[in-house]
Chain A
Amino acid sequence: MRAYIFRRLLAMAATLLGVSVIVFTMMRLIPGTVVEQLLGQSALVGEETIRALREFFGLDRPWYVQYVDWLGGLLRGDLGMSWRSNRPVLSLILSRLPVTAELALLAVAWSLLIGIPMGVVAALRRGATLDSVIRFASTLGLSVPAFWQGTLLILLFSIYLQWMPSIQWVSIRENVWANLSIIALPALTLGTATAAMISRMTRSTMLDVLGCDYVRTARAKGLREPRVVRHHALRNALIPVITVAGVQMGYILGGIVVVEDVFNLPGIGRLLLDAIFQRDYPVVQGTILVGAALFMGLNFLVDLLYAAIDPRIQYE
């Protein structure tokens, strides 16, 4: 197990290096350099100033020197400075992290809370009307675009029901109730597709498990149905569902950008989007890099969890 963890970490470091190369290359493909972007249309600036600025940003050096320099910074936790706010990118990201983390956690929690029971019920009532209703609902949940669902919820709650949460962000430490009233609808929206996915997956693994010999044995020895379902079937059915949850992390991390935009939440997604519009490339670069690193880290944790829960899985 320890050797496996070590090997995975090594592979992750290699992939992350690749990710950094891609992100670096992408930012260099942007037409014009920092200097042109910052100066914009002001053609009045002399050659001398442009050269000085290029030197200031280190653009006079060859690209590989720039990359190594940038990479060295990354390793020290230096993601560069924002061109617009002149603050370190890392501190910008960290300041937005609580909003995004709360949103993501609540979304995952709600999707598990609704998705697993739906899947279990559908599997137990296989072929019945309830099964069809749940299956249809989960396919619908997969098909609704998050920004449209969010728009409809806003329309329903704030415009027709006059239920207006504060427009200003309130952190959970300031006022729990106000915070939850702001974040409930966004978390609901973000978690819908994942809930649908988890419900479908739970239904299909439950059906597999319910057909297994040990479930028949459990029933044959006279255990009551709820106990068979909870202790024998569900426990084993949930193991593959965990992997789906891992893959869904990518969806959630992407969905955050959309949901934060719809509900106007000051999280990392909003930071990235504003940076794209303002051509604040160090921030774009930094947030995408952190997003990819988070995605990889979460998937790694899911794999470990998978191994910890299922003793049949042995990693050499």
Chain B
Amino acid sequence: MRPVSRIWLSRLRRNPLFAAGTIIITTFVILGILAPYVAPYPPIAVDAMKMFQSPSRDHLFGTDRFGRDLLSRVIHGVRVSLGIAGLSIGIATAAGSVLGLLAGYFERGVDQTLGRVMDVFFAFPSVLLALGISAVLGAGVRTVVIAIAVVYTPLFFRVMRASVLAEKQLTYVEAAASIGAGSWKIMLRHILPNTLSPLIVQVAVSLSYAILIESALSYLGVGVQPPTPSWGTILNEGKEFLPISPWISLFPGLFIMLSVLGLNFVSDGLRDYLDPRLRT
């Protein structure tokens, strides 16, 4: 397999949507990292003289009911929303693939037990499970991360388990075993690298859903709590003022859509390349 960076470059040239997605996501990541330097105002700076101002040269996205600059809040929101998505999917990927690797490799008891547990988590519609977790743990960043990680672990478990089961049938595994490689070595050195393609596609898809779930929970008021600026939280705060200052609800939603769109372009492009069977 060629290094990921090379694959990425070759796709960029051939697939304009993939290129667009990569540019959007890269821009957002940089924006998130540099948020404090890029944002014109601090995200929680209250200014009673400037409440509900419509977009202007001083405040490109307008201000909210506390006179806070919305552009600054949305830029800091990149950090919160992408950070939560990255962290929670990172946890889910790690947990799900370790368990999936074990279940797929050892089968029998391990597979039976883990499989049943994962089936149970799969039985919940994802938003309902996330809502339940947030009802139990109380709203907040930590809760949202846990909720999304719990919702997505079974998915990575299934993806990983399925590809391990398929790889195990292949001759190279038999070859490794016949020259005396142990279970762990076969699993980590031989099987794991070959399961990465479907996993990478799944990570990209799941990141976009994670952004949607986080913003939905925050919009409903059970996710990230004010004054922390996540895109969903800003939309939640704009809800009551929709008729008088619609711009509060406009920009954060646009950013959610752009980031999810970017991730969808990237995951479609990766899928076409890495997993041609699922081409859409």
Contacts and interface: CB of A to CB of B under 8 A. Distances in A.
Contact of A200 (B17, B239, B246, B280): B280
A148 B235 contact: yes
B253 A288 contact: no
A206 to B, nearest CB: 11
B212 A145 contact: yes
A28 to B, nearest CB: 9
A60 B220 CA distance: 35
Interface stretch (A19-27, A91-99, A218-226, A308-316): A19-27
Given A139-B264, A261-B220, A16 B123 contact: yes
Contacts of B116: 14-15, 18
Contact of A276 (B123, B212, B222, B249): B222
A144 interface: yes
Contacts of B136: 26-27, 29-30
Interface in A1-48: 14-16, 18-19, 21-23, 26-27, 29-30
A26 B264 contact: no
A22 B120 contact: yes
B69 interface: no
B221 A143 contact: no
B199 interface: no
A250 B209 CA distance: 13
B94 interface: no
B127 A258 contact: yes
B257 interface: yes
A103 interface: no
Given A145-B216, A147-B219, A291 B124 contact: yes
A128 interface: no
B120 A145 contact: no
Contacts, number: 137
B134 interface: yes
Contact of B220 (A21, A155, A251, A258): A258
Interface residues of B, number: 45
Nearest to B132: A288
Nearest to B212: A145
B243 interface: yes
Nearest to A203: B280
A145 B127 contact: no
A170 B256 CA distance: 33
B131 A292 contact: no
A284 B132 contact: yes
Contacts of A251: 125-126
A19 B119 CA distance: 9
Interface string B120-152: 110111111101111111000000000000000
Given A18-B116, A203-B280, A159 B246 contact: yes
A15 B119 CA distance: 7
Contacts of A142: 208, 260, 264
Interface string A138-161: 011011111110011011000100
B230 interface: no
A19 B256 contact: no
B268 interface: yes
Interface string A158-173: 0100000000000000
13 contacts: A15-B119, A26-B132, A140-B261, A145-B260, A148-B235, A148-B256, A151-B249, A151-B253, A253-B125, A258-B220, A291-B124, A292-B124, A295-B123
Interface of B: 17, 116-117, 119-121, 123-129, 131-137, 208, 212, 215-216, 219-222, 232, 235, 239, 242-243, 246, 249, 253, 256-257, 260-261, 264-265, 268, 279-280
Of all A-B residue pairs in the complex, the 9 with the closest CB atoms, nearest first, are A254-B127, A148-B253, A18-B120, A143-B261, A143-B260, A253-B125, A250-B125, A276-B135, A254-B125
